[in-house]
Chain A
Amino acid sequence: MTNLRIPTPLRNYTGGKSEIQIIGHTVAEALDDLIAQYPDMRQHIFNEDGQLRPFINLFLGEDNVKDLKQGLDTPLDENQRLLLIPSIAGG
């Protein structure tokens, strides 16, 4: 079970929730569970090739999943935290 922090711009698609629990042995599986729970999130996080959209970053703890050797196949331990970070531009 992993906690996924949802940033404000995406909370419309998770019923307003700021944090949700997702299940998976790897980051990819956990994201599949996210989409299974909240299908509207798919178009906002993934492009048509199933890759994370370039303006969305996913961090596992402090590390960007893109920077990890195994990327989306990185195994997840209990109590790890995933953080979705989108582009925002307000000022």
Chain B
Amino acid sequence: MLPELSHSEILRYSRHLLIPEVGLEGQRKLKAASALIIGTGGLGSPVSLYLAAAGVGRIGLVDYDVVDFSNLQRQVIHGSSNLGELKVESARARMLDINPDIQIETFNQVFTSENAFQIARDYDIIIDGTDNFPTRYLTNDLCVLTGKPNVYGSIFRFDGQVSVFDARYGPCYRCLFPEPPPPGMVPSCAEGGVLGVLPGTIGSIQASEALKVLLGIGDPLIGRLLLYNALDMSFDFVKLKKNPKCKVCSPVPEITELIDYEEFCGVPAHDHDEGSAGAEWDITAQQLNEILKDGNDILLLDVREPHELEISQLDGAQVIPLGQLASRLSELDSADEMVVFCKSGTRSARALELLVSAGFRKAKNLKGGINAWAQDVDTSLPLY
């Protein structure tokens, strides 16, 4: 039995009620429906805003993080007045301002194999607004195991992908990507950047797909993948098929319970810069500064992209972008004492792995990268 709409709700949703495919019954379906949004960042922002506006009756928000200054370039549900606040609370307040008639439940937790079943149990649909591979595989497997649709979206720089993975009727995420890329191969938004409006586009499409599924209208992206490129202004659609040997959604699955996804992916379940190569291989900005002040001969190796040097740079550093390092090792001398750095220490930690395995034993990683130098040594340099 679908809930009735009050006169106030009828007025609020009048533009929905005027559409034959939605109408009164559709709006009542939305009021009765529930959606769990995992991540209240770039993708989560438009999804949350539009599902609240649309009158989805109960919305759950999962995010462990707080609003950070660099989020504001794209995470439009948060504002300057929310800096330092829990993201789920910031998002909740904004959503209730748009629509006080809906119910919002917040989960200020990391979404893990230990809590995922319980958190997701009472929701009709799951929207993947995460920013890392482990949580994406967790979300997928959870949805397959519990028979829920997973509205998938992902972004990088100018590229976006959207699909609806519903293993009851079509392929799942693992049918398309059985395994994640090796750690470090696909940069995160923190390392590679992202056009701020891109998650707005992709997240809005995810919201649209979620509404179609909840309403039972139109042609959701089940069995199709939308590929968007903002730079080319291109939309491509490709067909996705169920993999008969999929480890989780095939008739004889290997995976029948949630696993350790950080171990599976080899990376942590977050998008924050780790900045460290481990205590044995790190050097702090202050330590490096002391060594340089003492006049010691150290090669500074900058593995950032050339365009980042316009923002900040260390005098005298040799520049070899990480992607080219393997083929340009001959430009370096393994006898040199060397400190490798990047923006925050993540790419340089990977560069260090490569260097050490190639015999460069006198290399160290600048922990926290040039940002740490800007913070602790030379405040004339900007943080970015």
Contact = CB atoms under 8 A, between A and B. Distances in A.
Interface stretch (A22-30, A61-69, A71-79): A61-69
A55 B199 CA distance: 22
> Which range contains the number of B residues in contact with the other chain?
35 or more
A87 B239 contact: no
B238 A8 contact: no
B101 interface: no
A18 B234 CA distance: 11
A87 B199 contact: no
Interface string A1-24: 000010111001100001000000
A55 B181 contact: yes
21 contacts: A7-B159, A7-B227, A9-B186, A12-B323, A18-B229, A55-B177, A55-B186, A62-B239, A85-B161, A86-B181, A87-B154, A87-B177, A87-B180, A87-B181, A89-B188, A90-B156, A90-B192, A90-B194, A90-B271, A91-B189, A91-B199
Contacts of A44: 185
A54 interface: yes
A23 to B, nearest CB: 22
Contacts of A64: 238-241
A85 B225 contact: yes
Contacts of B238: 59, 62-64, 83, 85
Given A54-B179, A87-B181, A90-B271, 10 more contacts: A9-B157, A9-B159, A18-B229, A57-B177, A67-B241, A83-B238, A87-B180, A90-B188, A91-B44, A91-B271
Given A54-B179, A64-B238, A90 B327 contact: no
Interface of A: 5, 7-9, 12-13, 18, 40, 44, 53-55, 57, 59, 62-64, 67, 83, 85-91
Contacts of A86: 181, 186
Nearest to B203: A91
Contacts of A83: 227, 236, 238
A44 B132 CA distance: 19
Given A8-B229, A12-B323, A54-B179, A91 B41 contact: yes
Contacts of A90: 42, 131, 154-156, 188-189, 192, 194, 199, 271
A86 B130 CA distance: 17
Chain B CB within 10 Å, residue with most, of A7, A13, A89: A89
B236 A87 contact: no
Contacts of A55: 177, 179-181, 185-186
The 10 closest A-B pairs by CB, nearest first: A91-B131, A88-B156, A54-B179, A90-B189, A55-B181, A90-B155, A91-B43, A8-B159, A8-B157, A59-B238
Contacts of B136: 89
B285 to A, nearest CB: 28
Contacts of A9: 156-157, 159, 186-187, 192
A79 B327 CA distance: 34
B278 interface: no
A88 B189 CA distance: 10
A40 B327 CA distance: 9
B43 to A, nearest CB: 4
